[in-house]
């Protein structure tokens, strides 16, 4: 009897678990593709135009192209949890940090044939700049208590102009092929570099959440700021820090983005990525009003979104209709992951189980 109860508890627990929705969505998309065209899952080893080995296939494309979004989802999850709001300026901030990378690499001549600075220096400078812009958002939200969406609207509006101003509106192009390795492949390694960068980011955040009290502090502040303060925490600082961390995520994502093509287009780079990042957090079942969060679920949510985009591209959905398809799927997923709906579902499930249960006893 107790074992039976246990099992029931486990099942109910699974149903209530946050990871359920993104996993189910992923499985559903995979199943759909499997039925429609099993070759979706084919991965083959080929060579690129430089003669280096590369893995190709839809799955590789998904984990490759989903990297930036997944990295952003990390920061967005923390910001959401701590401040109960979202940063809508990440797309514009990516334009800024990407622009900084190119500015450092190209120097004053936007078509320099050689790198004017080591890549690592460019990356670190862009990290610093992105964190400063994160700090700007964080200050507005934490210390001036402006609604996150309003506070980040400033950078959302101005960011791409700032990015363009670093280069006097010129288009910088990096000609050194080694810069492209970070957004594509290192010679000899068949797995796209962004995957590695994403995995490093996941490892770092996992380690941070495990080895520090970041998670506990952020959740406490997000759930009950007053209590957090009376327990010795400094809620403003913690909120501020989440925006700085998001800034770091932005820098990494921006670095990958500009490395992919060795150039930047200020007006379209990472366009609308903020909405996808917020969606990833929501798909992970995290409350957008802050509080408890599940990092793994958010990251998975990011890949679900990429999976969906790639699937839609694969089926060559008509351009005009693309947003509509995406919207329908997104509505379904978000509704499914809403706590109220999940409660109902698990109640329904319990009811369905009851008759069979009775039959057993």
Partner 1 sequence: MREGSVLEMTGIYKSFPGVKALQNVSFRLCEGEIHALMGENGAGKSTLIKVLTGVYPKDDGEIYLKGQQGAVKIHSPQDAQRVGISTVYQEISLCPNLSVAENIYLGRGEGQTVSWRKMNEGAAKLLSSLGIDVKPTKQLASCSIAVQQMIAIARAVDMDCRVLILDEPTSSLDESEVAKLFKMMRDLKKRGVGIIFVTHFLDQVYEVCDKITVLRDGKLVGEYQIEDMPRVMLVSKMLGKELDDMAEIKNDIPVCDQKDSTPVYEAEGLCSSEGIQPFDFYIRRGEVNGFTGLLGSGRSESVRAIFGADKVTSGTVKMNGKPVNITKPIDAMRNGIAYLPEDRKRDGIVGDLSVRDNIILALQVITGFFKPFSKAKATEFAEEYIRLLDIKTASVNTPIKSLSGGNQQKVILGRWLLTHPKYLILDEPTRGIDVGTKVEIQKLVLKLASEGMSVTFISSETDEMLRTCSRLIVMRDRKQVGELTGEQLTQNTIMSTIAGGGNDEQAE
Partner 2 sequence: MKSRRVITAILAAVLCGTAMTACGGGSKNIKVGIINNDPNESGYRTANVNDLKNTFTAEKGYDAQFSYSMKNDEQIQYAQKYIQDEVDYLLLSAAETAGWDTVLQDAKKAGVKVILFDRKVDADSSLYEASIISDMEKEGQTAVDWLKGQSLSEYNIIHLQGVMGSAAQQGRSGALVNTAKELGWNIIAEQTAEWSAEKAQQIVQSVIDSGKKFNVIYAENDDMAKGAVAALDKANISHGVGKDVIIMGFDCNKWALKELKAGNWNYDGQCNPFQSSYIVDIINKLQKGESLSEKVIIMDEKGFDATTITDADVEQYGIGN
CB crowding 36-45: b at 16 or more within 10 Å, else e? eeeebeeeee
* Cβ proximity to partner 2, 239 vs 260, nearer residue: 260
Give the residue from 61, 55, 278, 264 showing the smallest Cα distance to 149: 278
Least Cβ distance, residue 30 to partner 2 (angstroms): 15
Do residues 239 and 142 touch, judged by C-beta distance below 8 A? yes
Distance of CA 7 to the CA centre of its chain: 34
Residues near partner 2 (CB under 8 A), total: 44
* Residue 178 contacts which entry, partner 2, partner 1, none (Cβ below 5-8 A, type-dependent): none
Q: What's the farthest any 2 CA atoms get from each other in the chain?
A: 80
> 263 phi and psi, to 5 degrees?
-155, -175
Distance of CA 209 to the CA centre of its chain: 17
Q: Does residue number 346 form part of the binding site for partner 1 (CB under 8 A)? A: no
Alpha-carbon span 72 to 62, nearest angstrom: 16
**Binding to partner 1 in span 198-257, by CB under 8 A:** 210-214, 216-217, 219-220, 223-224, 226-234
Sole binder of partner 1 in the list 22, 98, 254, 291 (CB under 8 A): 291
Residue 230 tokens read as 């009376």
**Binding to partner 2 in span 170-189, by CB under 8 A:** 170-171, 173, 184-185
Burial class (CB in 10 A: 0-12, 13-18, 19+), 268: exposed
Q: Does residue number 123 form part of the binding site for partner 1 (CB under 8 A)? A: no
Four-residue CA torsion sign, 113, 116, 117, 123: negative
* Cβ proximity to partner 2, 32 vs 313, nearer residue: 313
Task: Name the helix (H) or strand (E) containing 44.
Answer: strand 44-47
Sole binder of partner 2 in the list 7, 13, 32, 46 (CB under 8 A): 46
Q: Does residue number 169 form part of the binding site for partner 2 (CB under 8 A)? A: yes
Sole binder of partner 2 in the list 103, 239, 257, 342 (CB under 8 A): 257
* Residue 326 contacts which entry, partner 1, partner 2, none (Cβ below 5-8 A, type-dependent): none
Sole binder of partner 2 in the list 28, 117, 146, 261 (CB under 8 A): 261
Do residues 150 and 129 touch, judged by C-beta distance below 8 A? no
Do residues 122 and 246 touch, judged by C-beta distance below 8 A? no
* Residue 230 contacts which entry, partner 1, partner 2, none (Cβ below 5-8 A, type-dependent): partner 1
Least Cβ distance, residue 212 to partner 1 (angstroms): 5
Least Cβ distance, residue 305 to partner 2 (angstroms): 13
Least Cβ distance, residue 98 to partner 2 (angstroms): 11
Alpha-carbon span 182 to 40, nearest angstrom: 26
Query: Which residues here bind partner 1, judged by CB under 8 A?
Result: 210-214, 216-217, 219-220, 223-224, 226-234, 291-292
Query: Which residues here bind partner 2, judged by CB under 8 A?
Result: 39, 46-51, 54, 56-58, 61, 65, 110-111, 160-161, 164, 169-171, 173, 184-185, 257, 260-261, 263, 265-271, 309-310, 313-314, 316, 318-320, 322
């Amino acid at each position: 009897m107790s074992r039976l109860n246990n099992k029931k508890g486990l099942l109910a627990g699974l149903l209530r678990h946050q990871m359920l929705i993104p996993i189910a969505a992923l499985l559903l998309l995979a199943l759909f593709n499997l039925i429609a065209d099993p070759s979706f899952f084919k991965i083959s080893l080929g060579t690129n135009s430089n003669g280096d080995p590369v893995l190709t296939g839809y799955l590789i494309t998904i984990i490759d192209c989903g990297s930036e979004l997944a990295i952003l989802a990390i920061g967005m999850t923390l910001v959401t949890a701590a401040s109960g709001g979202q940063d809508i300026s990440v797309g514009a901030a990516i334009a800024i940090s990407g622009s900084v990378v190119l500015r450092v690499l190209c120097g004053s001549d936007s078509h320099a044939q050689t790198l004017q600075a080591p890549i690592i220096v460019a990356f670190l400078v862009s990290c610093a700049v992105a964190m400063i812009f994160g700090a700007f958002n964080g200050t507005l939200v934490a210390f001036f208590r402006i609604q996150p969406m309003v506070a980040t609207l400033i950078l959302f509006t101005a960011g791409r102009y700032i990015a363009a101003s670093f280069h006097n509106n010129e288009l910088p192009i990096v000609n050194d092929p080694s810069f492209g390795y970070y957004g594509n492949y290192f010679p000899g390694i068949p797995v796209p570099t962004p995957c590695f960068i994403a995995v490093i980011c996941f490892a770092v955040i996992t380690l941070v959440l495990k080895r520090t009290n970041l998670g506990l502090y952020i959740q406490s502040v997000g759930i009950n700021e007053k209590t957090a303060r009376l327990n010795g925490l400094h809620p403003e600082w913690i909120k501020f820090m989440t925006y700085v961390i998001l800034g770091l995520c932005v820098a990494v994502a921006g670095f990958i983005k500009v490395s992919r093509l060795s150039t930047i287009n200020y007006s379209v780079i990472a366009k609308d990525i903020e909405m996808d990042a917020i969606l990833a957090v929501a798909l992970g079942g995290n409350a957008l009003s802050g509080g408890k969060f599940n990092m793994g679920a958010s990251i998975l949510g990011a890949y679900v979104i990429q999976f969906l985009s790639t699937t839609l591209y694969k089926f060559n959905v008509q351009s005009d209709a693309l947003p509509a398809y995406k919207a329908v799927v997104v509505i379904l997923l978000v509704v499914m992951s809403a706590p109220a709906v999940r409660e109902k579902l698990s109640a329904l499930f319990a009811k369905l189980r009851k008759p069979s249960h009775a039959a057993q006893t």
